[in-house]
Every structure is written in structure tokens, then in C-alpha cells.
Amino acid sequence: MWPEAVDVAKTHKSYVLVAVWAHGLPLVEAGKLHVKMVATCLKQPNAISVYVSGTVFQPKFYIKVVFMMEDDEDILPVLVWMYLGLSRAKRGIPCTCVG
């Protein structure tokens, strides 16, 4: 997806921690709010990457995934909520997820 991710992330000078306390908000809505807040931070000119569930994402990819929700509120940003790993095996395709 992004071969330079580790090298780019190593250049960081500081980081921002984004958290949402979902007092009375359904968890899915809190999750949507969280990714929108992160995407907004990534629009800053010096933002170089975002680290989520063991994956370093390129800002433009993360923003694109999150703002697909603007077109359809039923779309969930699963690609940035969790890591989905697929591999080949002799008997099927094992899948792992983190997040």
C-alpha cells in the first residue's frame, strides 16, 4: 500500500493523540466522530502519517476513506478502523483482523 510508510514515520518530531469519550453516544457514532477528527488533523500541512491498529496510513488515503462517509452516512470506515490481513494457504484464505 505505502512502501515508504516506515521511513516517513521515522521523521516525525511530535504526535497528536485523538480520543473521543462517548458519553451517551452510540459506539459506531463515536467511532465515526473519531476518524473524522483524525482526518481533520491530517489536513494540516505538516501531518506526515497516522498510526492505527499497527498500521501506518498515508494521510491522503486515510482522508479519502473517512470522507466517503459524507456521500453516504451508512458507509463505515472499516479500512481505517482495523487491519484486515489475508494470506494464501493450501486450504482456503486465512483472514486476520486487528482493531
pLDDT tens column, 78-90: 888 877 788 888 8
Contact, 38 vs 62, CB < 8 A?
yes
pLDDT confidence band for 67 (50 / 70 / 90): confident
Name the helix (H) or strand (E) containing 31.
helix 27-42
Instruction: Classify residue 50 as exposed, middle or buried by CB count within 10 Å of its CB (0-12, 13-18, 19+).
Output: buried
CA distances for 40 relative to 60, 63, 92, angstroms = 11, 8, 39
Q: Is the pLDDT of residue 1 over 80?
A: no
HSE-up (13 A, CA, CB side) for residue 52: 24
